[in-house]
């Protein structure tokens, strides 16, 4: 009985691959252009963003508010929704770029950093606690004449 269902599964798999190839044929150029654009934007913007992180940002157990909210609550909600939607788009685009040309992991990390979700600060602290990452971030800060970040737990 299982042998009879294998040809049907094979043809469904072949149809799925044919659809995927057609999609890549239609959208491949735009995906490649988008991948390169996100990569270049990431290379240019990352040092500026890293230089703006307060020196003691990762030393606290809980995330602290960096500024008071001066916007109307409705505007604040719209900004949060748009920011999370952009983060989700970047996360999905990064996932697609894992299988196509482009900086998939970088795009996914930027998407995760933009979005709001429980445990985000713990995840950020986990990343920055890695010596290689902390060294790279502090090297970027040094080029911008900023003091090095204090590691978590200090």
* 139 vs 28: CA distance, rounded Å: 36
Residue 139, in any domain of the structure: yes
Predicted pLDDT of residue 61: 80
Predicted pLDDT of residue 105: 72
Residue 117, in any domain of the structure: yes
Predicted pLDDT of residue 68: 61
Residue 118, in any domain of the structure: yes
* 136 vs 85: CA distance, rounded Å: 29
Residue 20, in any domain of the structure: no
Predicted pLDDT of residue 81: 93
Residue 110, in any domain of the structure: yes
Question: Is there a contact between 87 and 115 (Cβ–Cβ < 8 Å)?
Answer: yes
* 123 vs 118: CA distance, rounded Å: 10
* pLDDT tens, N- to C-terminus, the chain (154 residues): 555 555 556 688 888 888 878 877 777 778 778 777 877 777 787 788 788 888 988 888 877 665 666 678 888 889 889 999 988 888 887 787 777 766 667 677 778 888 988 988 888 888 888 888 888 889 889 999 999 988 887 7
Predicted pLDDT of residue 89: 85
Residue 52, in any domain of the structure: yes
Instruction: Domain of residue 95: give its range.
Output: 32-143
Residue 53, in any domain of the structure: yes
How many separate domains does the chain show? 1
Question: Is there a contact between 130 and 40 (Cβ–Cβ < 8 Å)?
Answer: no
Residue 41, in any domain of the structure: yes
Predicted pLDDT of residue 93: 79
Backbone angles phi, psi at 121, to 5 degrees: -65, -40
């Amino acid at each position: 009985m299982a042998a009879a269902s294998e040809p049907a599964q094979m043809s469904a798999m072949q149809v799925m691959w044919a659809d995927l190839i057609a999609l890549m044929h239609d959208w491949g150029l735009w995906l490649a252009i988008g991948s390169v654009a996100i990569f270049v934007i990431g290379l240019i913007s990352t040092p500026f963003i890293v230089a703006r992180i307060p020196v003691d940002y990762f030393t606290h157990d809980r995330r602290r508010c960096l500024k008071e909210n001066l916007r109307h609550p409705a505007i604040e909600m719209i900004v949060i929704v748009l920011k999370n939607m952009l983060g989700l788009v970047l996360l999905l685009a990064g996932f697609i770029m894992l299988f196509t040309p482009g900086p998939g992991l970088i795009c996914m990390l930027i998407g995760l950093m933009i979005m709001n979700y429980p445990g985000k600060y713990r995840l950020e602290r986990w990343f920055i606690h890695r010596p290689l990452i902390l060294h790279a971030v502090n090297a970027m800060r040094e080029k911008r004449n900023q003091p090095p970040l204090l590691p978590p737990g200090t």
